[in-house]
Amino acid sequence: MNRSLEQRTLALIAGISYLIIFFAAIYANFFVIASLIDAPLSTIRQNPILVRSGILAFLITVVFDVLIAWALYELYKQHVLSLLSMLFRMMHAAIMGVAIFALATIFTSTTNDTILRQVDVFNTVWLIGLFFFGIHLMLLGNIIGKPKIIAFLLVIAGFMYMLDTAAHFMLPNYQIYASVFLALVAIPSILGEMSFAIWLLAKGGKQ
């Protein structure tokens, strides 16, 4: 295969995978997890298909996370940090897979408190994974170099993911500042990762 064509294909794979993760994560978090938090037992009993589809959506994000890790490694493998970046993203995907197990066990739960504890376990384990994801983003920002604004946003997003995870465990009164940390993570992350996905689809891999 022509190298320029191969590079373009890898960029498209990564860009499309980013979009799939984006929409799957929105559905799983803002529809499924939100429903479990608002009405734990009734959601499990009255709408189990919603919960099962949410678990499937999270599994899909893990699959495409691995696909992105591979595609970006192949796309930038000449860079000395590329392998390290891929490994940290793979760590995040593996930890996310473990976190999903907590959701898969809630169908045998019989009380609201039990369900909410399982959701809390899921969120905590995922939070640990996001620390390693943050390292991946910081490395990725250094790897891609250009466009500079996207590279900068990825580095900032990565640092904020790490800072947020550390704050969760280090600050006993984290909930007081939760909305601030959410903004600090969400803004550079959404802008950086979505911009990168669009750039991959539009220009990635082109000579």
pLDDT for residue 2 is more than 60: no
The DSSP string of 129-153 is HHHHHHHHHHHHHHHH--SHHHHHH
By the 10 Å C-beta count (0-12 exposed, 13-18 middle, 19+ buried), 183 is classed as: exposed
Q: Tell me: the pLDDT tens digits for 44-87?
A: 999 999 999 999 999 999 999 999 999 999 999 999 999 999 99
Please tell me whether the overall predicted TM-score, pTM, comes out greater than 0.75 for this model.
yes
Which residue ranges make up each domain of the chain?
Answer: 3-202
Per-residue pLDDT at 1 exceeds 60: no
How far is C-alpha 49 from the geometric centre of its chain's CA atoms?
23
Is 115 in contact with 36 (CB distance < 8 Å)? yes
* Backbone angles phi and psi of 76, in degrees to 5: -120, 30
The single-letter code of the amino acid at 20 is: I
The pLDDT assigned to 32 comes to: 95
